[in-house]
Amino acid sequence: MDKHVLLFAEKNTLLVNVMGDGLKKAGYIVDNIRITEAENFSIDKEAEMWLVYLPGEETEYRESYEMIKRELEMDNDKLLFLVGNPSEIKAETAFFEKEKVTESFARPFRVEDIVETIDKYVLNPGGTKHVLVVDDDPTALHTIKGMLSDNYNVYTANTAFNALRILDSTQIDLILLDYEMPIIKGPQLLMLLRNDPVTKDTPVMFLTSKNDKETISEALSVKPEKYLLKSLPKSEIIKALDLFFEGK
């Protein structure tokens, strides 16, 4: 995949320029397009990565967004990245349709994270899988994310509510779910997901430290893809995920 990005923004603000400069330093060709003029632009259709810095109310830029959406529908190889505040991202993810949004970055964000994420798609044109880790233990979240980040795009949630919020705006390929969490335990969250038309087919694996028979029996009764223990070596956990995705 060519390192060519179309950067759509309302105007060249300091943050937009910083994003563009960060991508250029990483070796990308960056074409800036004003979102207010996008519908009139003769844009380079060969650029496969489109980064949209959301300017605010979607209705103000209807024609531009419609143009971008049409292009995405005509070419499934194009990758769409959204940058904005959480409410903007949620609204535009619904407009573009969640499966069309490759990644989103909520403010505040690090430009390095955007560059690193886009790099993964350049190195892996087939697309890096998105894994959501749900665990109330911040140390576990940090450890698991570090363990998986070389192979996958990893999202983290420390509550069931935060997990549902991420799932509402992001296409997740696999959820790694802790068993013991406050308010809503892992099995309860899995049942909620299975009863929701949007998430009913999202694969879920338990990744937990609990290994007693009663816990394992309850967890398996809600039919997860797999039950993994946190005590497993890093290589075994990664292998389990790799084998799962290879079989998809």
95-119 confidence digits (pLDDT tens): 888 878 888 898 888 899 898 888 8
Q: What is the mean pLDDT of residues 43-66?
A: 74
Residue 126's pLDDT is what?
54
Q: Mind listing the domains of the chain with CATH numbers?
A: 4-123 (3.40.50.2300), 130-246 (3.40.50.2300)
Q: How far apart are CA 225 and CA 64, in angstroms?
A: 41
Report how far apart, in Å, the C-alpha atoms of 102 and of each of 98, 105, 176, 184 are. 8, 11, 20, 29
Q: Which has more confidence, 71 or 201?
A: 201
Q: List C-alpha distances in Å: 14 to 11, 20, 23, 107.
A: 9, 10, 14, 14
C-beta separation of 230 from 177 below 8 A: no
Lookup result for tokens 């995920």: 241
Q: Evaluate if residue 44 carries a pLDDT over 70.
A: no
Average pLDDT for residues 58-64, to the nearest whole number? 69
178 contacts 208 by C-beta, under 8 angstroms:
yes
Higher pLDDT, 48 or 240: 240
The neighbouring-strand residues paired with 176 are 133, 205
What pLDDT shows up at residue 62?
75
Helices (H), the chain: 14-25, 62-74, 86-96, 111-123, 138-148, 160-169, 186-194, 213-221, 234-246
Q: Length of the chain, please?
A: 248
Mean pLDDT of the chain: 85
- Mean pLDDT for 7-18 is 87
Quick check: 166 and 132 in contact, CB under 8 A? yes
